[in-house]
Structure 1
Amino acid sequence: MKIALIGYGRMGQAIEAIAKERGHEIVLTIDVDNQHDLTEENLKSADVAIEFTIPASAPANYKTCFSAGVPVVSGTTGWLDQKAEIVADMKKHDGTFFYASNFSLGVNLFFALNKKLAELMKNRPEYDISMEEVHHTKKLDAPSGTAITLAEDLFEAHPAKKSWTLDTPKSDEEMHIEAIREGDVPGIHRIKYESDIDYIEIEHSAKSRHGFALGAVLAAEFSVGKKGLVTMNDLLNL
């Protein structure tokens, strides 16, 4: 498989290493110094593009890939206010877009666990719910895209909560998310249900970026030959 790598930070470099280990070829690498090389013509040599950049540039990158007819896999977060526009552009070009807020296989199993626990707790009003996420200091968005996905899934299964806030909740319908930025932490997410007498807590903690990078490469392998919007639920058959 021939891969265009859009974004060559720590995640992009980890993806490159795993892709090569799995026998794939990197045919185009885009970083901040050669963004002008991201063209339809240059993308035509790729079977798939893997995109990990920043919220400001990601939507334009997706559209270039759709125009070139190249499936795109992306884990960039912080741009979802433009999701409807991006999905419409993908459909216009009969394209393929594999998006995940987190490509870790463990995190996606954690998503399923979060939904199940929320369903079990929805009739237990004595338990208040909060969330904490910890990431490295270079992460630009807060809360993380993973935390937002966890929150949205929780709200769907636990209708007592309807929104999240980084501040002190103003009503029982708001859930507090504590977003901590420190050191070089790859990612920790905790969800706590607390009453006056006890608490229940679930946690996912990443040991390294390897799991995220492997998931992105697996997603790229899965995306070739697919059409439309694809997710980790499709890949994991959840």
Structure 2
Amino acid sequence: MKIALLGYGKMGQVIERIALERGHEIVLKKDEFSTYDGLSTADVAIDFSVPTAAVSNISSCFNANVPVVSGTTGWLEHYDEMIALCAAKNGGFISSSNFSLGVNLFFEFNEYLAKIMAPFDHYKVDMEEIHHDQKLDAPSGTAISLAKGVIKNSNYSNWTLDTAKENEIHIEAVRTGNVPGTHTVTYNSEVDSIEIKHTAHNREGFALGAVIAAEWLAGKHGVFTMKDVLNLNSK
């Protein structure tokens, strides 16, 4: 399979190595100084760039008839616009806040726990996410996805980085060192606490998941999620 890499930072380089190990060919490695030459020859593109480049990268893929997997976060105010363009161009698209297989299973655990905890309103939900100090957005896209998973299955209506109101989930965003990503969801009461936690040890899991998503998406048309890739929609 021929892959275009849109964004060639630390994640892009790990994705390149894993893609090559799995027998794929890299036909474009785009950074902020290069062009899209070679994009039209790709079977699929993987976008791990920066928020300011994501819309241009994704649009270019749709216009070149190349399905795209995007792991860039911080650009979702343009998400509906990109979905409309995908439909207009009959493109293929997967966007995820986190492609790690473990994190996507964690998303499922989180929603299940939220569902069974919903009747017990004496528990208050809090979240913490810890990332390296070079991460541009806060809270992380993964933390927002976790909060949305709780909101969908409970009486909570919003999340906040500030002091939470009664129907809000507080997210504590910590930036320190070289932490790849740690996410914790805690249900606190006066008598006990229930906690689920995912800790990434390196970038390998994110990169492998993105390549697996690209392998799954190649040749498909439509908008999909990692639930489709992992066959979790029927669970």
Pairwise same-fold verdict (TM > 0.5): yes
How many Å separate the matches in 2 of 1:209 and 1:135? 12
Q: Secondary structure at the match of 2:14?
A: helix
Q: TM-score, normalised by structure 2?
A: 0.97
Aligned equivalent of 2:36: 38
Q: CA deviation at 1:33?
A: 2.2
- In the aligned structure 2, how far is the partner of 1:84 from the partner of 1:74? 14
Task: Choose from 222, 225, 231 the match for 1:228.
Answer: 222
Aligned length: 232
1:82 Cα deviation from its structure 2 partner:
1.0
| CA distance in structure 1 between the partners assigned to 2:188 and 2:199 by the alignment | 20
Contact between 2:16 and 2:26, CA under 8 Å: does it hold in 1? yes
Tell me whether 1:72 sits opposite 2:68 in the alignment.
Answer: yes
1:166 aligns with 2:161: yes
- Cα shift readout 1:88-124 (whole Å, capped 9, x = no counterpart): 0010100011111100000000000000100111011
Q: Deviations over 1:33-84 (max 9, x none)?
A: 21xx125xx3111111100011111011111100000000110001111111
Match of 1:156 among 144, 147, 152: 152
Residue 112 (structure 1) aligns with: 108
> What is the Cα deviation at residue 219 of structure 1?
0.6
Name 1:193's counterpart in structure 2.
Answer: 187
In 2, Cα distance between the equivalents of 1:151 and 1:204? 14
Residues 43 and 219 in structure 2, CA contact (< 8 A), matched pair in contact too: no
Q: Is 1:17 aligned to residue 11 of structure 2?
A: no
SS of the residue aligned with 1:57? Answer: helix
Counterparts of 1:3-152 in structure 2, within 5 Å, are 3-34=3-34, 37-38=35-36, 42-152=38-148
| 1:173-230 per-position Cα deviation (integer Å, ceiling 9, x unaligned) | 1110000000110000000000001000000000110000000000110001111111
- Whole-angstrom distance in 2 between the partners of 1:21 and 1:69: 26
Q: Distance in 2 between matches of 1:12 and 1:138?
A: 16
Q: Tell me how far apart the structure 1 counterparts of residues 211 and 79 of structure 2 sit (CA, whole Å).
A: 22
Q: CA RMSD in A?
A: 0.7
Matched residues, percent identical?
A: 56
5+ residue gaps, structure 1, are none
Q: Name the CA distance, whole Å, in 2 between partners of 1:112 and 1:43.
A: 34
Q: Write the deviation string for residues 10-44 of structure 1: whole angstroms up to 9, x where unpaired.
A: 1000000000000000011101221xx125xx311
**Contact in 1 for aligned 2:129/2:174 (Cα 8 Å):** yes
Runs of 5+ unmatched residues, structure 2: none
Displacement of 1:232 after TM fit? 0.5
Q: Quick one: distance in 1 between partners of 2:142 and 2:195?
A: 17
Q: Could you say what secondary structure the match of 1:44 adopts?
A: helix
Equivalent position SS for 1:208 = coil
The answer on whether the counterparts of 2:71 and 2:97 sit within 8 Å (CA) in structure 1 is yes
